[in-house]
Amino acid sequence: MPRFALALSVLALTIAAPLAQEAPPAPAPAAAPAPAPAAAPTITVDPHAIVDAMPKQGQLLTGLYATLATIELCNITVPEPGATAMNAHRRQLENDFHLEGESAQKAYDTVKADVEKTGVDCAEGSVDRKQTDAVIKVYSGT
């Protein structure tokens, strides 16, 4: 009888192992449903939007043009070496942007027109005059 019990146990073990491997996996416990994917953001491109991507050198040239326009409109005398330094810096910046002759003059005229349109206060001690005097001092080295 012990042999019969042993044979029966060996038979049970040899049959149970392959059956266990072929059994389908137990279903996973019920979990909360997965959240719905987020809606894709809507991207709108405005072709008329103004993007300020002017390089620093361009801002310097525009500011120098505005200062020169104020000097011209207000008949301000720039002492040496300020006048020479301003003209040299203007030529350097214009060369950086490949502005020569007519194109440089057109760029200056455009900025000057904007300064005129905005209105310049040429009175001694005005904000416009103080800013222009400060720039002249920088170029004059004082």
**pLDDT tens for each residue of 62-84:** 889 999 999 999 999 998 898 99
Domain layout of the chain by residue ranges: 62-140
Please list the pLDDT of the chain residue by residue as tens digits (142 residues).
454 444 445 444 555 455 555 556 666 666 666 666 677 777 777 777 776 666 777 788 888 999 999 999 999 999 889 899 999 998 999 888 888 889 889 998 999 999 999 888 888 889 989 999 999 999 988 7
The total of other beta-carbon atoms located within 10 Å of residue 70's CB is 22
User: How far, in Å, CA of 43 to CA of 41, rounded?
Assistant: 6
Is the backbone peptide bond immediately before 81 cis, with ω within 30 degrees of 0?
A: yes
Query: Model pTM?
Result: 0.60
User: How far, in Å, CA of 65 to CA of 47, rounded?
Assistant: 28
